[in-house]
Amino acid sequence: MGTQSDIKLIDENGLRLDGRSAGDLRPIRIEAGVLERADGSAMIEWGGNKIIVAVYGPREAYPKHNQDINRAIVKARYNMAAFSVDERKRPGPDRRSIEISKVLSEALSAAIMVEQFPRAQIDVFIEVLQADAGTRIAGLTASSVAIADAGIPMRDFVTGCTAGKVDGKVVLDLSKEEDNFGQADLPVAALPKSGKIVLMQMDGDLSVEEFETATSMIMNAIPRINEIQRNALSSRVKVEGGGGE
C-alpha cells in the first residue's frame, strides 16, 4: 500500500478527513443513457470520480478465432484519460489497466446471460475522466447499468464497493488520501440479490478479523449502491416512455 504519512486520516471522534464515519459512502450519482451512439451507456459520479461507460453489442466477435460457439465473450476496456490524475498519465493501456480490464470482464461475464449470444462479443468501454480512488469498482458499478441500458439480459446487477484500512481502522469506500496513505485496500463486487462475489482483489495488510469486518461493511453497503443503480435505470425508462405522466 501507500507510503507513510504524517497526516492524521481519522480524528479523535472517529471522523475521516471528509467528515465521514467509518461505514459511510461518498455521494454516488448514476445516470443511464448519456451517449447517443452507444447501444447502452451510463455516467457515474462517485465522490470525485467521474467515469463514463459505453456498451456496444452483442455483435459478432472479432477476430473470429476469439469466438466462443457456446457464449458471448465480454470485453471490458478500462482506460484512464491522460488528464484524469494529478500527473499526466501516458495514454494507452498500461499493465495496471490491462489487469483491471481482465478482472472487470470476468466480473461482468458472471452476471450477463452470455449463453444467449453464442459467437458474439459485448464491448464495455470504461473511461475514467476524473480519478478519485475506487475507479475500478465505480466503473464496474456503472457498467452494469450501461449493460442494462443496452437491453442485454443479466442475472443481476454487478455492484461494487471497496473497504480498506486507514490509521489501523477498517473503513468503507476509501478516499484518495486514504488510498494513498492507508494500509490496505479491498475492492469487491457482488451480485446484490445473491451476494455472490464476482470480483475481489486485495493489497496491503489485513488480519482475518479485519478482513471479516471489511467484507461485512461492503456487503452492507452493496444494497444501498444497488438502489442507486436501479433508480438510474428506472428514471431512464420514464423519460423514454414519454407522456406517461
**Distance set, CA 134 to CA 3, 10, 68, 185 (Å):** 18, 19, 32, 9
For residues 196 and 190, what is the distance between their CA atoms, to the nearest angstrom?
Answer: 5
For residues 1 and 4, what is the distance between their CA atoms, to the nearest angstrom?
Answer: 9
| Residue 215 in the binding site for other proteins (CB under 8 A) | yes
Selected range binding other proteins among 36-44, 67-75, 131-139, 227-235, rule: CB under 8 A: 67-75
Selected range binding other proteins among 32-40, 95-103, 167-175, 226-234, rule: CB under 8 A: 95-103
| Residue 59 in the binding site for other proteins (CB under 8 A) | no
Kindly tell me which of 34 and 163 has the beta carbon lying closer to other proteins. Answer: 163
DSSP secondary structure code for residue 162 in this structure:
E
Pick from 185, 207, 169: nearest CA to 136 = 185
| Residue 207 in the binding site for other proteins (CB under 8 A) | yes
Kindly tell me which of 129 and 202 has the beta carbon lying closer to other proteins. Answer: 202
Amino acid (1-letter code) at residue 4:
Q
144-168 CB burial, b ≥16 within 10 A, e <16: bbbbbbbebebebbbbbbbbbbbbe
For residues 163 and 22, what is the distance between their CA atoms, to the nearest angstrom?
Answer: 10
Kindly tell me which of 11 and 94 has the beta carbon lying closer to other proteins. Answer: 94
| Residue 56 in the binding site for other proteins (CB under 8 A) | no
| Residue 198 in the binding site for other proteins (CB under 8 A) | yes
The residue within the footprint of other proteins, chosen from 95, 151, 243, 244 (CB under 8 A), is: 95
Task: Check: CB of residue 197 under 8 Å from CB of residue 40.
Answer: no
Helix (H) or strand (E) holding 100, with range, is helix 95-111
DSSP 42-87: EEEEETTEEEEEEEEEEEE-SSGGG--SSS-EEEEEEEE-TTSSSS
Kindly tell me which of 1 and 35 has the beta carbon lying closer to other proteins. Answer: 1
| Residue 66 in the binding site for other proteins (CB under 8 A) | yes
| Residue 193 in the binding site for other proteins (CB under 8 A) | no
Kindly tell me which of 61 and 138 has the beta carbon lying closer to other proteins. Answer: 61
Size of interface with other proteins, in residues (CB under 8 A): 37
The residue within the footprint of other proteins, chosen from 31, 68, 127, 167 (CB under 8 A), is: 68
| Residue 90 in the binding site for other proteins (CB under 8 A) | no
Residues that bind other proteins (CB under 8 A): 1, 3, 65-66, 68-70, 95-96, 98-99, 101-103, 106, 109-110, 186, 191, 195-208, 211-212, 215, 219
